[in-house]
Amino acid sequence: MKAFTLVETMVTVLIFSFLIAAIFAVMNTGRLSWFTGDTSVELRQEIIKAYMTMEREIRQTRPSQTDLTVNTTTNAVTFTLPVDLDADGTVLDTVGQVEWSGNITYALNGTNITRTAGGVTTVLGRNINSLEFTLLQVPLNSIQIDISAQKVSATGRTIQDSGQITVKMRN
């Protein structure tokens, strides 16, 4: 009868151990990449979500209806929007002047971008570590918004993302 010797069996077990360790290392690297990518996508979604709301509203206001001064950077902006206050179907009053809403404020509160209007505060974006508004001189009637976000992923890695958008306001 022929059989495997103890040495041959131990060498085979050792080779399989190395193969299994290599497979687990590759799988762990893939898992880390997955969680890092997932966190990065989550941060990008928070930035885009905040930009969409801010762009839609800031596009409707005028530079004179904001509290910004040209080429000055701040982490909050307060402005008003044209609204139909007298419910006559138009944003103009009886003498042809635009009716403006109460103040709306976008600000960085801790790690959240918030929108405050009429005493109600809503969160537009989370995990934000920097928010800057700049009223630009060129292009005329534009606000530049810079956002930086940061989050620690499930694997303990710190992921960062940032974005910038320029919004043209009405004249």
Cβ atoms of 12 and 20 within 8 Å: the answer is no
Phi, psi (deg, nearest 5) at residue 31: -65, -45
pLDDT beneath 70: ranges in the chain: 1, 171
Q: How far is the C-alpha of 113 from the C-alpha of 124, rounded, in Å?
A: 5
Phi, psi (deg, nearest 5) at residue 61: -90, 180
Could you tell me the pTM of the whole model?
0.78
Q: Exposed, middle or buried by CB within 10 Å (0-12, 13-18, 19+), for 150?
A: middle
- Read off the tokens for 16: 């399989």
Cβ atoms of 52 and 111 within 8 Å: the answer is no
Q: What is the pLDDT of residue 171?
A: 66
Q: How far is the C-alpha of 131 from the C-alpha of 57, rounded, in Å?
A: 17
- Read off the tokens for 21: 């360790």
